[in-house]
Amino acid sequence: MDTNYLSAHWHQIKGSVREQFGKLTDDDLLEIGGKVELLVGKLQERYDLSLAEAEAAVTGLKIDAEGMKLETNI
């Protein structure tokens, strides 16, 4: 996934991110605010992932044609 897309379209896809990564809280999503580095950090914290695993989860996100359905390998 293009991480620039995630940052630019955060408000449209944050609900889908929340569904995909259920351990993230609404407060987490508000704090992340589309910043990829913060998303990676929160995934490390909530899922006990290494940096490489969290980065792979973010870059491995697949967004469907409508930009709303997310899939990842986590």
35: in domain: yes
**Exposure b/e, 30-58, CB count within 10 A at least 16 = b:** eebebebeebbbbbbeeeebeeeebbbbb
pLDDT at 16: 83
pLDDT at 70: 58
Taking 70 as the pLDDT cut, the residues of the chain under it are 1-2, 63-74
CATH no. for residue 52?
Answer: 1.10.1470.10
pLDDT at 53: 94
67: in domain: no
pLDDT at 11: 87
pLDDT at 65: 44
Count of domains for the chain: 1
27: in domain: yes
23: in domain: yes
* pTM across the whole model: 0.81
Domain with 23 in it: 3-61
